A and B are shown apart, each in its own frame.
Chain A
Amino acid sequence: MKKLQKADYIKMYSYMLKIRRFEERAAQLYGMGKIGGFCHLYIGQEAVVVGILMTIDKNDSVVTTYRDHGHMIARGLDPKRIMAELTGREDGYSAGKGGSMHMFSKENNFYGGHGIVGAQVPIGTGIAFTHKYNGEKNICRTYIGDGAMNNGQVFEAFNLAALWKLPVLYIIENNKYGMGTSVDRAAAGLDLYKRGEAFGIPGEKVDGMNVFSVIEAADKAGKYVREGNGPYIIEVQTYRYRGHSMSDPAKYRTKEELDNYKQTDPIEIVKAEILKKKIATNDEIEKINKDTLEEIKIAAEFATNSPFPNDSELYTDVYL
């Protein structure tokens, strides 16, 4: 693996922080009634998507679930336009027609944002199929929640991907709960990464609170897939600090459990590493914090000032 440069550490820290500040602001706007519907926050899981980001090629494709804000930020998309989609405005990535769960950016090879649990898995497999069909060296990273790992189409997709040696990297984000049901009450057999074994798909379990572990695993898995060996599964052990969605009080878990995970906060781990390696000073870190807060504040202002879509937009984009 390529050695991480100083700039990489700063990039990781900035992106993870940006995701967290974005999500906190989204929660605030939700509370103010500026964001409606379902809104699923990524706080606590930032190391997963940022770790993967460090190994990605810009022509690689990404597809994920409805908990997608972090994935878009990590893809380099504009927080202003992401937030504007959350507020349902015309400057949003889906022009206000998709909302939090259904966002896309074709030019950045980001294929959603899918609201149906498990549906993105065959779709990501099909995007990988296209990379192979076109003779491209790119791969499709397909994110899966632990809840979807009990959904039939996921295994149909695993079978197809292994059968046809498709360049797809499956990333299971195991945040311990499918809505309010803990993994051990939903999955028979808790090693989700082993669920490709019957198809001959290698799998690996990774500490998802530690971005360095994620990078290492993602790099190895990415190479395996890119070299034409077929699919690969990474199960990332992570944790969401918030409820399933904004309306979920998360009474199914204890405060102790949450506090315990906060002890290994992914952002703090990177920060400590930066300070230890003397990559940046405390003051420099503070500046990043301040700039990030400001960037997200501007995004929120943009998103609340952007106009609602024109009424005539109701009938556009049904057919091309």
Chain B
Amino acid sequence: MSTEILMPALSPTMTEGNLSKWLIKKGDNVKAGDLIAEIETDKATMEVEAVDEGVVLDLLFDEGEANIPVNKAIAIIGDPNEKVEVKKESPEEKVIEEKKIEKNIEKKIESKKDQIIDTPSPKIEKDINLSSEEITMRQALRDTMAEEMRKDNKVFILGEEVAEYQGAYKVTQDLLQEFGKERVIDTPISEHGFTGLAVGAAFKGLRPILEFMTFNFSMQAIDQIINSAAKTLYMSGGQINCPIVFRGPNGAAAQVAAQHSQDFSSWYSQVPGLKVIAPSTPYNAKGLLRSAITDPNPVIFLENEILYGLKGRVNNDINFSIPIGKANIEKEGKDLTIVTYSIMLQKSKEAASRLKDQYNIDAEIIDLQTLRPLDKETILNSVKKTNRLITVEESWPFGSVGSEIANIVQRDAFDYLDSPVIKVNSADVPMPYSLSLEKLYLPQVNDIIDAAKKVSYIK
């Protein structure tokens, strides 16, 4: 009997891996626990152990092959004395098998991302400095930090695993090598303490970039963020500012459940003294992070773990920045307005494309980019044109950013509205673990389409 060894999922967000190295060869006798291969994931290179025993009958991929989907067979082991049926797939079978795998993966990632590559809006395509190469969001963030650290030695980064480990999500890769341990600083797991320390350093004139491994852990430090960082300029009558960036992944990752999947956008957006940014593409991540680092105020920079692998073209000018407080009209349209930010931009784009195809609805999409200060003008101008508004965000519904937008629009554009504003949010429950429930919890493309139909009075 032969057994297939499958490409393992080595992180919650891994959908495919690269086969860096085989540690076995055909004919080897493999025991459970033996190392069989090195697999490179989106986060790290890891060794994989055998769970079953037998002789290696076939290696199905060569070393160096990339983008092998999770759950795809990569090797076959079994008893060589048995009449082995190394299943040679017929071409049709192969297609069916691949489809099956793809479908599985699709199912697995549907709740997480709809597209891997960002299609830039027409406006961005006109950017004459647009790179020919597509880079990931994590690279865009990394490059921007490195560029700013080269310009100003008061900029330094601290956080858990940012230095020697190269970042829990590889966002700080190679920064330690370039800038040394005085400026790329591993902290112990003490968010409250090191956040207060970084705030004190910012009061005294440094420009810290503080990475929360995820924003879930910022709750341990939230007193220092709100009571110290956000309020001291005011309490000191304008004497002491706090030029600091709090950054890291926010919102749901993939099946990490309630304590590790939470969207803090409305929490921080409520606080005067803080600026809050939520990038959605590699392009705006670069421009917005530069603005955040050079801003003299405390900035909450909400990244998204699922988006770290999102690829897109960027502006490589080391002075390119996107102003804080300015939304981007991602797609122009005339029938209704979708206001969104962060990861929900991709889902909103997918929904807009289906709305056009299936219902001939021409949706305008506004990507907020900055949540505080909010670009009311762009939202109101759009609503005055389309007369219909839906907001799409990953956070809980109560008191969300969309709630505030709905309030502003009913107050300042009441006469322009042809239907009530509808908010699309996550379910009003803690994030469940199970894949099926997680998908239900998160806003999906269909939820956006349903909301769009509702504001358009389409049954």
Contact = CB atoms under 8 A, between A and B. Distances in A.
Are these two chains actual partners, yes or no?
yes
Interface of A: 61, 63, 92-98, 102-106, 111-116, 119, 121-131, 133, 152-153, 155-157, 159-160, 163, 316-320
B200 A97 contact: no
Interface string B273-302: 101000000000000000000001100000
B67 interface: no
Nearest to B206: A130
Contact of A122 (B156, B195, B233, B296): B195
B366 interface: no
Given A94-B237, A111-B240, A156-B193, A61 B224 contact: no
Given A115-B227, A133-B182, A157-B193, A124 B237 contact: no
28 contacts: A92-B237, A94-B235, A94-B236, A94-B237, A95-B237, A104-B237, A104-B240, A111-B200, A115-B227, A116-B223, A122-B192, A122-B193, A122-B197, A124-B200, A125-B193, A125-B197, A126-B200, A127-B204, A130-B201, A130-B204, A130-B206, A153-B192, A160-B190, A317-B234, A317-B237, A318-B233, A318-B234, A320-B296
Interface size class of B (residues with CB under 8 A): 35 or more
Secondary structure of the A side of the interface? Answer: mixed
B239 A126 contact: no
B197 A160 contact: yes
Nearest to B272: A318
Interface in B178-219: 182, 187-188, 190, 192-206
- Give the 9 A-B residue pairs with the shortest CB-CB distance, closest first: A126-B200, A122-B196, A156-B193, A95-B237, A123-B200, A130-B204, A126-B197, A156-B190, A104-B236
Given A133-B182, A320-B297, A126 B241 contact: no
Given A119-B196, A126-B201, A320-B233, A106 B240 contact: yes
B232 interface: yes
Contacts of A104: 232, 235-237, 239-240
A134 to B, nearest CB: 8
A163 B181 CA distance: 13
Interface string B11-49: 000000000000000000000000000000000000000
Nearest to B229: A123
Given A104-B236, A123-B196, 10 more contacts: A94-B237, A97-B235, A98-B236, A111-B200, A111-B204, A123-B199, A126-B202, A127-B204, A157-B196, A159-B193
Contacts of A133: 156, 182, 201, 206
Contacts of B228: 114, 116, 119, 123
A125 B200 contact: yes
B238 interface: yes
Contact of A61 (B204, B232, B239, B296): B204
A160 B241 contact: no
A273 to B, nearest CB: 37
Contacts of A320: 233, 238, 241, 296-297
Contacts of A119: 196, 223-224, 227-228
A310 to B, nearest CB: 12
B197 A129 contact: yes
B169 to A, nearest CB: 23
B406 to A, nearest CB: 24
A280 to B, nearest CB: 37
A121 B196 contact: yes
A105 B239 contact: yes
Nearest to A316: B238
Contacts of A121: 196
Given A63-B200, A122-B194, A122-B195, A319 B156 contact: no
A156 B221 CA distance: 12
A127 B228 CA distance: 13
B199 A122 contact: yes
B238 A95 contact: yes
B194 A160 contact: yes
Contacts of A163: 188
Contacts of A131: 204
Nearest to B196: A122
B33 to A, nearest CB: 37
B401 to A, nearest CB: 19
B227 A116 contact: yes
Given A119-B224, A159-B190, A160-B190, A98 B237 contact: yes
A159 B224 contact: no
Contact of A126 (B190, B196, B275): B196
Most chain B CB inside 10 Å of its own CB: which residue of A61, A163, A320: A320
Contacts of A316: 238
Nearest to A157: B193
Nearest to A114: B228
B203 A127 contact: yes
Nearest to B192: A153
A96 B232 CA distance: 13
B227 A160 contact: no
Interface in B238-291: 238-241, 272-273, 275
B205 A130 contact: yes
Contact of A93 (B198, B223, B237, B296): B237
Contact of B203 (A95, A111, A318, A319): A111
A112 B273 contact: no
Contacts of B203: 111, 123, 126-127
B47 to A, nearest CB: 31
Most chain B CB inside 10 Å of its own CB: which residue of A126, A128, A152: A126
A116 B239 CA distance: 20
Nearest to A109: B204
Interface in B64-90: none
B188 A159 contact: yes
B208 to A, nearest CB: 8
B262 to A, nearest CB: 22
Most chain A CB inside 10 Å of its own CB: which residue of B223, B237, B239: B237
Contacts of A114: 228
A113 B200 CA distance: 13
Contacts of B236: 93-94, 97-98, 102-104, 106, 112, 317
Most chain B CB inside 10 Å of its own CB: which residue of A95, A130, A155, A156: A156
Contact of A156 (B194, B202, B206, B235): B194
